[in-house]
Structure 1
Amino acid sequence: MKALVLDGVGQPLQLREVPTPQPQAGEVLVQLQAAALNHRDVWIQKGQYAGLRFPIILGSDGAGTVADLGEGVPESLRGQEVVINPGHNWGDNPRAQGRAFTILGLPHDGTFAEYVCVPARYVHRRPAHLTPNQAAVLPLGGVTAYRALFTRGGLQAGERVLITGIGGGVALLALQLALAAGAEVWVTSGSDDKLERARALGARGGISYRQEGWGTALAKQAGGGFDVIIDSAAGPGTVQLLEAANAGGRIVFYGGTAGVMAQLPPARIFWKQLNLMGSTMGTEADFAGLLRLVDESKLVPLMDEVYPLAEGEKAMRRMDDGQQFGKLVLQIN
C-alpha cells in the first residue's frame, strides 16, 4: 500500500510503498478514503511528543470501508462505511484515561495510508449525511470538543459558552456542537477575519484576545459573563478567563499552547465559585455521544483544504502555519 512515512524528527513525510497490514484477532482492516490532520501530527514531526518511534505512519483521524476482518470479528462489519475512534484503551474509569490509553498514529501506525488496522470496537458507522472527507474531520477534534463541552463542562441548552482561539479544528467543532445543543456561543481570536467567519457560522459575537482586558470587555459586550469556557491556550490569558466567567462558571482546558498559567488571583476563583477542569480526548461513550449529536443535528464539520495523499507534507506545513479555518484533509481513495 501507499503511505506517508515519517523517518525521524524534523524529517518531511515521505510517500512510499509499505506492506499492507493484516488484521489480527479482534481487528478490522479499513481501506481509508480520507484522513485529517491534527496539531498532534506536527508536534510528533517536531519531536515535541512523548513516546516517539520511527519510522511511523502518522494520522489519528480517518474514514473508510471495512475491507477485511480478523478472527472473531462479525462478518456483518465487512463492507461497512465507517469512521474510526482514535482513542484506544481508555480504561475502566470514565473520569480519566488509564495508563494504557493510546491515540492512533503513535505508537501504532495511523491513517495517512491506504489501509489501517484497528480493533473492531473502535469503528462506527459513518453518519449517512457526511461524505468520507467530512467524516474524517470528526474523530479526534470532535471527541475532544464533545467531552470538554458536555461531559466535563456540563453545557446545557440556553447557557452562554465562550470558545477561545476560534479557527482550529477542535474550537470550530466545539462551536458547531454547542450551537447544535442550543447554547449561545461567543468566541475569541487574534484574527478579525476568523471572528467574522465565526459569526457567519452562528457565533453571537467575539473579541480579539490581543486586546487588553478582553475578558471583562467581552462579558460586557455579551450582556453578562459565561457559564462555560472552553480553552486550549492557558498561559497569561487565563486571568481573562476568570474575569469573563459567571459565578459558578466552568472553565475547561484541553490544551496549553500559550504555556504555563500566569499567577492567578485566588479570590477570583473562590469568590466566584469557579470550577477549573482539564479534559483530554474522550471515552467510548463520549465518542458515541458525539456521533449521535452529529447525526441528530445533521452537523457538517468544516474543512479548510483537501489535499491528495501525496501532498501530505504540504498539508503539514499549512497546519504548522496556523492559518487554516477548519480541518485539513487528505483524500486517499
Structure 2
Amino acid sequence: MRALAHEGTNGMEGLSYRTLDKPEPAQGEVLVKLLTAGLNHRDLFVLHRHHSADPALVIGSDGAGIIDAVGEGVEPSLIGKEVMINPGLGWKENSDAPPAGFEIVGLPYHGTFAEYITIPAENAAAKPGFLTWEEAGVTSLAGITAYRALFTRGKLKEGMKVFIPGIGGGVATFLLQFAVAAGAEVYVSSRSKEKCDAALKLGAKQAVDSNEDWQEALGGIGMDLIIESVGAATFNQSMSLLRKGGTIVTFGSSTGDTFQFNLREFFYGQFNLLGSTMGSAEEYLEMLSFIEKHGIKPVLDEVYTLDQYEAAFTRLEEAKQLGKIAFRIGE
C-alpha cells in the first residue's frame, strides 16, 4: 500500500510518501480501506515526538473509509460498511480522565495517512450519511476534543456566554459550531479579519482582533466559559474576561506551556480551571449524535492528495487554514 510515513530524521525531513506492507487485521480488529483523512496539529507534533531511531511510522489520527476485512471474532457482516475512525484507543466509558494505557491512532501505532489501517472493531463508527467522505475524514479528533471540552468539562448550557480565542483551526471551529447549536452566546478572537468574518457567519455574536484589548473590545462582558488552546500568549487575557466564578477549560498550548498568572486574582475571582483532552468512546458516539441532530458539518479548508503532503503541512504550520485540511486517499 502507499502511505505517508515518518522515519530516520525528526521533523518534515523524516516524512516520505512510500510503499509499505498492507496490514492484516488481528483478532478483534477490522481492516479499513481509507478514502479520506484529516490533518491535525498533532501530526506536526508527532514529527518531533517519533524518535528517529524507531521504525517507520504511518502518521495521521483522522480518517474515514470502508471496512475491507475483519479479524477473528469480528462479525463478517461489517465488511463493506462505511465508517469513521475514533482515534482514541482504550478509553471506552466517560470518566474524569483517560485510563492508563490510553493512546491515540498515529503514535505509537500506525495512523490514517495510508491506503489501509487496522483498528479495534469498536473504534469503527458508522459514517453519518449526511457527511461527505472529506467531511467524515476530518471530523473525529477535532470533534471529540471540542465536544468533551464544551459539554463534559465545561458543562455548557443554553444562554451561557462563551469565549474562544484563536478561531480558525479545526477544534476551534467545532467549538463555535457546537456552542451555537447548544444555544450559547459565542465570542471569538483572531488576528485574521477573514477568520473573524467567517466566525460571524458561523454564528459568533462578536469577533475581535487578537491584537486588541479584549476587555475593551467586548465592552466588559463577563464570560461564563472560556475554551483555551492557544496557551501562554493568550491565557492571562482570557482569564481577564471571566465573570466571577467562571470557568476556563484548556486542551492545548500551541504558544508555549509555561507562563505566570496572578494567583490572588484567580482565587479571589473564584475561577475554575479544568484540563481536557480528546474523549471517551461514549462521548465520541454522543458527538456523532449531536452533529446529526443539528446538521453540523466541519468547515473544510483545502483538500490534498497524500503526495501533496508538503503543501498541506506548510499550510497548517503557517496557520493559513480556516477549518480542517483534508487528504483524499482513494476512490
Q: TM-score range by the shorter chain?
A: over 0.9
The partner residue of 1:319 within 298, 316, 320 is 316
Paired position in structure 1 for 2:173: 172
CA distance in 1, matches of 2:94, 2:296: 29
Structure 2 residue corresponding to 1:28, chosen from 24, 27, 30: 30
Shift in Å, 1:314: 2.0
SS in 2 for 1:235: coil
Structure 2: gaps spanning 5 or more residues: none
User: With structure 1 as the length reference, what TM-score do the two structures score?
Assistant: 0.94
Contact in 2 for aligned 1:239/1:262 (Cα 8 Å): no
What is the CA deviation profile of residues 248-296 of structure 1, one whole-angstrom value per residue up to 9, with x for unaligned ones? 2110011112224533222332222211111111111111111010111
1:29 Cα deviation from its structure 2 partner: 0.3
**Comparing 51-60 and 275-284, the one that deviates more:** 51-60
Counterpart AA for 1:35: A
**CA shift for structure 1 position 236:** 4.5
Does the Cα contact within 8 Å between 1:219 and 1:226 map onto a contact in 2? no
Matches within 5 A, 1:103-252: 103-211=104-212, 213-214=213-214, 216-220=215-219, 224-252=221-249
Using the TM superposition, give the Cα deviation of residue 155 of structure 1 relative to its aligned residue in structure 2, in angstroms.
0.4
Offset, 1:63: 0.4
1:310 is displaced (CA, Å) by 1.7
> Quick one: structure 1 residues 148 and 300, their matched pair in 2 at CA, closer, same or farther if it must change by over 3 Å?
same
Return the alpha-carbon distance in structure 2 between the equivalents of residues 220 and 15 of structure 1. 51
SS in 2 for 1:130: coil
> How many angstroms apart in 1 are the aligned matches of 2:260 and 2:135?
41
Structure 1 pair 244/219, CA: closer, same or farther in 2 (3 Å)? farther
CA distance in 1, matches of 2:271, 2:81: 45
Structure 2 vs 1, CA of residues 203 and 31 (structure 1 numbering), >3 Å: closer, same or farther? same
Runs of 5+ unmatched residues, structure 1? none
- In 2: Cα distance, 1:53 partner to 1:139 partner: 27
Aligned to 1:39: 41
1:3 aligns with 2:18: no
Q: Secondary structure of the residue that 2:301 maps to in structure 1?
A: strand
Aligned to 2:57: 56
Separation in structure 1 between the aligned mates of residue 157 and residue 87 of structure 2, nearest angstrom: 27
Deviation at 1:44, TM superposition (A): 1.8
Counterparts of 2:4 and 2:237, CA distance in 1: 41
Instruction: Tell me, yes or no, if the aligned pair for 1:167 and 1:194 is still in contact at 8 Å.
Output: yes
Q: What SS is found at the alignment partner of 1:301?
A: coil
Number of residue pairs matched by the alignment: 328
Separation in 1 of the partners of 2:121 and 2:235? 40
> How far apart, CA to CA, are the structure 1 residues paired with 2:327 and 2:275?
30
* Corresponding residue for residue 286 of structure 2: 289
Determine the C-alpha separation between the residues in 2 that align with 1:91 and 1:149. 19
- Which residue type is aligned with residue 256 of structure 1? S
Instruction: Report if the CA contact (8 A) 1:52-1:107 is conserved.
Output: no
The 5-angstrom pairing of residues 243-262 of structure 1 reads 243-262=240-259
The alpha-carbon distance between structure 1 residues 99 and 108, as it changes in their structure 2 partners (threshold 3 A), is same
Q: Is the 8 A contact 1:61 1:84 kept in 2?
A: yes
- Equivalence for 1:302: 299
Q: 1:63 to 1:262 in 2, by over 3 A?
A: same
Aligned-CA RMSD value: 1.8
Distance of 1:51 and 1:155 partners within structure 2: 42
Which deviations, in whole Å up to 9, do the C-alpha atoms of 1:10-35 show, x marking residues without a partner? 32532222111000000000010100
1:73-112 alignment, distance < 5 Å: 73-90=74-91, 94-112=95-113
- Secondary structure, aligned partner of 1:186: strand
Q: TM-score, normalised by structure 2?
A: 0.94
